């Protein structure tokens, strides 16, 4: 993917603006597990994901995590440039959930372009609205869906992202995604196992009946 491919309104930028984006974007590889952005501590810039998987999560004072959304190939990560967005009053941590290759556009460069270009500013608004929608989806899940359905949906999503049925996931990692204690996840997974939906072995959750899991997630 070229830089232009990430911006559907590319043709509405001046050629000077296009060149600034192309010339300042730096291609980087980050290893699985790397924390790319940590709340207000840093402000690396806009991330354009070429391949891989990023996870955005929040952290409670006592160290509990909840995944708020995940970003895939072709997605743009905005909150890694949150310092240039007045109004953002929360801290998100972004880490690579897989080895990831991405373009970085420095925050101050992007800010300057936003000030010049209404199409770019409106497109940035659209990206933020998409992330907002992800978070509203999460609120609906947390408020109105029981944990068994959320866990079922998470396992299916993970299997789809990793393209395997044998998921290398500890119960603690699953708890960190869903914002739930490990013990609660363990209990629910044992229930899934007794229903023949999954098979548990050390550090692995294998989906053995994905039709039943899908039915549960959608119920």
CA 68 – CA 83 distance, rounded (Å) = 19
* The only residue of 50, 97, 100, 124 in contact with a copy of itself, by rule CB under 8 A: 124
- Residue 14 touching a copy of itself (CB under 8 A): no
Q: Is 38 exposed, middle or buried (0-12, 13-18, 19+ CB in 10 A)?
A: middle
- Residue 71 touching a copy of itself (CB under 8 A): no
Q: How far, in Å, are 54, 111, 129, 140 from residue 32 at the CA level?
A: 9, 29, 27, 29
- Residue 218 touching a copy of itself (CB under 8 A): no
List the interface residues with a copy of itself, window 131-160 (CB under 8 A). 131-133, 135-140, 142-144
- Residue 74 touching a copy of itself (CB under 8 A): no
List the interface residues with a copy of itself, window 161-190 (CB under 8 A). 179
Contact 67, 56 (CB under 8 A): yes
* Shortest CB 107 distance to a copy of itself, Å: 14
Q: Which residues contact 133 (CB under 8 A, 6 or more apart)?
A: none
**Binding-site string for a copy of itself from residue 91 to residue 120, where x marks contact by CB under 8 A and - marks none:** -----------------------xxxxxxx
Residue carrying the six token digits 């548990």: 200
CA 149 – CA 110 distance, rounded (Å) = 40
Residue closer to a copy of itself (CB basis): 141 or 214: 141
Residue closer to a copy of itself (CB basis): 1 or 118: 118
CA 46 – CA 64 distance, rounded (Å) = 26
- Residue 128 touching a copy of itself (CB under 8 A): yes
Residue closer to a copy of itself (CB basis): 57 or 210: 57
Contact 198, 189 (CB under 8 A): yes
Binding site for a copy of itself (CB under 8 A): 58, 60-61, 64, 66, 68, 85-90, 114-122, 124-133, 135-140, 142-144, 179
């Amino acid at each position: 993917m070229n830089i232009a491919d990430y911006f559907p309104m590319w043709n509405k930028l001046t050629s000077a603006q296009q060149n600034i984006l192309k010339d300042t974007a730096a291609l980087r590889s980050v290893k699985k597990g790397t924390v790319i952005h940590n709340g207000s501590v840093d402000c690396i810039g806009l991330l354009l994901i070429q391949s891989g998987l990023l996870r955005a999560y929040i952290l409670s004072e006592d160290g509990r995590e909840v995944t708020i959304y995940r970003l895939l190939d072709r997605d743009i990560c905005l909150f890694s440039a949150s310092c240039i967005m007045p109004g953002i009053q929360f801290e998100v941590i972004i880490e690579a959930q897989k080895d990831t290759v991405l373009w970085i556009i420095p925050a101050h460069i992007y800010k300057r372009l936003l000030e010049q270009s209404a199409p770019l500013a409106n497109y940035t608004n659209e990206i933020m609205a998409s992330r907002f929608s992800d978070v509203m989806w999460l609120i609906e899940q947390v408020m109105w869906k029981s944990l068994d359905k959320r866990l079922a949906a998470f396992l299916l999503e993970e299997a789809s992202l990793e393209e395997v049925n044998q998921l290398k996931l500890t119960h603690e990692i699953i708890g960190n995604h869903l914002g739930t204690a490990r013990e609660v996840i363990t209990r629910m997974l044992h229930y899934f196992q007794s229903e023949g939906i999954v098979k548990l072995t050390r550090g692995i959750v294998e989906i053995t009946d994905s039709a039943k899991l899908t039915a549960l997630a959608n119920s």
